[in-house]
Amino acid sequence: MSHEVGYRQLERRAPGELRRRAEAALARLASCDLCPRACGVNRLRDERGVCGSGRRAAVASLGPHFGEEAPLVGRRGSGTLFLSGCSLRCRFCQNASLSQLGEGREQGAGELARAMLSLQEEWRCHNLNLVTPTHVSAQLLEALALAAADGLRIPIVYNCGGYEALETLALFRGVVDLYMPDLKVSDPEVGRELAGIPDYPEVARAAIREMHRQVGDLVLDDEGVAVRGLLVRHLVLPEGRAGSAEAFAFLAALSRATALNVMDQYRPCHLVAPGDPVLGRRITRRELEQALALARAAGLTRLL
């Protein structure tokens, strides 16, 4: 099955549209509202808000990744571009050195575009996996316009924490082929406790609805590699803190064919001490099995 990626279809129908989208996104950096925090800092002057990023995007690492979900990995790996910084501030972040502590090197649009093309040409990855793209979505659109003009043609994965502004997602309509958001927690108070954002559940659900509206359920090619659609991640937390039952009920109402990865790799790290009475331990096998049973009971049929 052949598949023309979204951004190439977009450019064929409306030449220059990627550049126009990039310009619209870059203009919003003057009083930044790319994520729901809407810090309002002038990132065009390199001011920094919660995400810690200024005018340029910083890259922590680049290369094929074989630890992602099987439909993304295929035989040649998912082409991951790990961005530094994050609009979330999760206490339990397992990549805090990248997301919160500034690891990575700033790059301009041309260098970012060359990095994207290298994942296609040198490593022959199945897709371009933009990891934590939200806060640098303008810079990524700027680079994508250049990379597409130079022959980028692999699907784009928008791999995010789920805390997304609908206005920003609208800029990626017809550009992103695969959305892979987290659905972290279902209780506003848990959102406040773990990330300082009580509106996380409401915002994430609205964002995931929009993502599904744009790309639909997960579609695989003849080799079982994802080419389009939505894939949701849900990290099981100790003592049911993630609100798994509520999360799965929401996803099933969206579509029972929603592809879902129920993740078991939680561990206490970053700002969570091992002695924390709730989060200071890994989940048990029983907790994982209970979460999987809840997903099936909700009617979800595509568990990865």
274 has pLDDT over 90: no
Which CATH code is given to the segment(s) 6-303? Answer: 3.20.20.70
Residues 218-250 as b/e (b if ≥16 CB within 10 A, e otherwise) read bbbbeeebbbbbbbbbbbbbbebbbbbbbbbbb
Using the predicted structure, report yes or no on whether residue 273 has a pLDDT greater than 90.
Answer: no
* Residue 293 and residue 240 in contact, taking contact as beta carbons nearer than 8 Å: no
Residues 76, 124 contacting (CB under 8 angstroms): yes
pLDDT above 70 (res 2)? no
Question: Stretch 299-303: mean pLDDT, rounded?
Answer: 96
Q: Mind listing the pLDDT tens digit for each residue in 56-109?
A: 999 999 999 999 999 999 999 999 999 999 999 999 998 888 888 888 999 999
pLDDT at 3 over 80: no
Mean pLDDT along residues 247-276: 94
- Nearest-angstrom CA–CA distance, 134 and 172: 11
| Amino acid, single-letter form, for residue 20 | R
Nearest C-alpha neighbor of 81 from the set 23, 191, 19, 156: 156
Q: Which residues contact 143 (CB under 8 A, 6 or more apart)?
A: 57, 109, 110, 112, 113, 116
CA-nearest of 241, 239, 232 to 298 is 232
Helix axes 200-215, 244-254, angle to 10 degrees: 30
Average pLDDT over the chain reads 96
Q: Is 95 or 13 the better-scoring residue by pLDDT?
A: 13
Start-to-end C-alpha separation, the chain: 22
Residue 56 is predicted with a pLDDT of: 98
Report the Cα 183 to chain-centroid distance in Å: 10
pLDDT at 147: 98
pLDDT for 215 beyond 80 = yes
Per-residue pLDDT, averaged over 126-132, amounts to 98
Taking the model in full, what pTM does it have? 0.96
| Cα gap 55→45, rounded to integer Å | 7
Rounded CA gap, 84 and 134, in Å?
A: 11
* pLDDT average, residue stretch 154-161: 98
Q: What span, in angstroms and rounded, lies between the C-alpha atoms of 233 and 182? A: 5
Q: Are 93 and 131 in contact (CB under 8 A)?
A: no
